[in-house]
């Protein structure tokens, strides 16, 4: 997947206004089956997978014992187990982590190399796909999926995505010629909507406008889900999961920092790693930042020392030696 095909801004606006296609086949698909599959999922993920019925999808995370994040992922409830969709850069690490924590009567299969994954995203995505999918996509609610066919090829079609737009993620098996057939059919049906392939650059800018975390930028082994704003997928009332004790203690003690959204008031662009100051005191650092193509202003996410700023505060970002003024803003940056 290239950073861009035509231009990041053009691709970004194509997804916001019409429809675009991401080839995210590099993502990892790990299948969990066996009698104790649910118990295993409950142990390794922070969200409550017992709530899932067949056809549902859940956003979740895996944590280390100390509460640091192994990865964020999607959990699909299949009729014979679960499919876990993990970040490409983490898939080997995740698979090892699962094997290390495996319990009896659980099978763990990494099928990442067997599956293609195309994400069709944007307000016209259903219009494009309805001609080539064998069921009516309007039946599909957000964070649900159906086993169906796309141009006659068996696929898991789910209403999920990383853009904040109406969109679908399509998983299917087969060699490159199968993937090409699906890709071509999508583009043929998208001509009227000026459909375009979308690169990694716009994938990042679209998710950041929604305030979605990116592993490696906003979350990693050194951050816990509570400070990252992922408390809503961290079910501390669940009987047990790896990291629960540490995260419960962190919650009891109070957070030391929090991931917040901000906008620059001066002209410039905040980027990963830039430091945040109130007067001469460093209070945090930027984890993600860019010029928002939808809003035409510089936005970012960063970790702020707890209670160091409030919504009326003006603080400063050190942009390559220059202090630029900034203030907190609501996340998502772009309201949908």
Partner 1 sequence: MTFPVDLKYTKDHEWLRVENNIGIIGITDYAQSELGDIVFVDINKNLSDIKKGETFGTIEAVKTVSDLFSPVSGKIIEINSDLESNAEVINKDPYGNGWIIKIEILDVSEINELLDAEAYKALIGQ
List the one residue from 51, 249, 267, 282 that touches partner 1 (CB under 8 A).
267
Distance in Å, CB of 4 to partner 1, minimum: 6
290 binds partner 1 (CB under 8 A): yes
List the one residue from 268, 284, 300, 302 that touches partner 1 (CB under 8 A).
268
Distance in Å, CB of 7 to partner 1, minimum: 5
H/E stretch holding 16 reads: helix 8-17
Query: Which string of x and - marks every residue 116-135 that binds partner 1 (by CB under 8 A)?
Result: --------------------
List the one residue from 9, 38, 265, 278 that touches partner 1 (CB under 8 A).
9
Q: Which is nearer to partner 1, 267 or 325 (CB)?
A: 267
Using CA atoms of 71, 60, 26, 64 in order, give the dihedral in degrees to the nearest 10: 20
Provide φ and ψ at 58, rounded to 5°: -140, 140
* Size of the residue set binding partner 1 (CB under 8 A): 17
CB atoms within 10 A of CB 177: 7
- The dihedral through the CA atoms of 74, 75, 76, 81 has a sign that is positive
Render the burial of 138-154: b for 16+ CB within 10 Å, e for the rest. eebeeebbbebebbebe
List the one residue from 100, 253, 311, 320 that touches partner 1 (CB under 8 A).
320
Beta strands in the chain (DSSP E): 20-23, 28-33, 57-63, 69-78, 81-86, 107-110, 115-121, 145-150, 153-158, 167-173, 196-197, 257-264, 275-278, 281-292, 297-305, 315-319, 322-328
User: What number of residues does the chain have?
Assistant: 336
List the one residue from 50, 107, 291, 308 that touches partner 1 (CB under 8 A).
291
Q: Which is nearer to partner 1, 150 or 326 (CB)?
A: 326
**CA angle at 74 for the pair 71 and 75, rounded to the nearest 5°:** 115
221 binds partner 1 (CB under 8 A): no
Distance in Å, CB of 319 to partner 1, minimum: 9
- The dihedral through the CA atoms of 126, 111, 222, 236 has a sign that is positive
293 binds partner 1 (CB under 8 A): yes
Distance in Å, CB of 291 to partner 1, minimum: 4
Chain residues 150-189 in contact with partner 1, contact rule CB under 8 A = none
Q: Which is nearer to partner 1, 4 or 31 (CB)?
A: 4
List the one residue from 201, 229, 243, 302 that touches partner 1 (CB under 8 A).
201
List the one residue from 204, 209, 227, 316 that touches partner 1 (CB under 8 A).
204
Residues contributing to the site for partner 1 (CB under 8 A):
3-4, 7-10, 201, 204-205, 267-269, 271, 290-291, 293, 320
């Amino acid at each position: 997947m290239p950073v861009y095909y035509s231009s990041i801004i053009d691709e970004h606006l194509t997804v916001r206004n019409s429809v675009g296609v991401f080839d995210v086949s590099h993502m990892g698909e790990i299948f969990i089956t066996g009698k104790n599959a649910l118990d295993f999922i409950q142990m390794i993920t922070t969200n409550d997978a017992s709530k899932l019925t067949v056809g549902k999808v859940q956003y979740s995370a895996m944590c280390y014992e100390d509460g640091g994040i192994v990865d964020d992922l999607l959990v699909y409830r299949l009729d014979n187990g679960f499919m876990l969709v993990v970040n490409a850069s983490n898939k080997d690490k995740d698979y090892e982590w699962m094997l290390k924590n495996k319990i009896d009567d659980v099978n763990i299969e990494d099928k990442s190399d067997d599956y293609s994954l195309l994400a069709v995203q944007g307000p016209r995505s259903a219009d494009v796909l309805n001609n080539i999918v064998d069921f009516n996509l309007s039946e599909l609610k957000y964070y649900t999926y159906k086993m169906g066919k796309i141009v006659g090829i068996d696929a898991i079609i789910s209403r999920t995505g990383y853009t904040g737009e109406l969109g679908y993620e399509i998983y299917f098996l087969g060699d490159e010629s199968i993937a090409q057939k699906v890709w071509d059919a999508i583009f043929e049906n998208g001509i009227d909507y000026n459909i375009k392939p979308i690169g990694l650059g716009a994938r990042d800018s679209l998710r950041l406008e929604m305030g979605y975390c990116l592993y490696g930028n906003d979350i990693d082994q050194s951050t816990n889900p509570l400070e990252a704003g992922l408390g809503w997928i961290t079910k501390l009332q669940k009987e047990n999961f790896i990291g629960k004790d540490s995260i419960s203690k962190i919650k009891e003690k109070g957070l030391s920092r929090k991931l917040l959204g901000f906008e620059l008031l001066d002209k410039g662009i905040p980027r990963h790693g830039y430091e945040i100051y109130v007067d001469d005191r460093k209070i945090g650092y930027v984890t993600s930042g860019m010029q928002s193509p939808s809003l035409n202003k510089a936005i970012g996410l960063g970790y702020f020392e707890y209670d160091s700023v409030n919504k009326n505060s003006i603080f400063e970002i050190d942009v390559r030696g220059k202090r630029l003024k900034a203030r907190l803003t609501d996340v998502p940056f772009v309201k949908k």
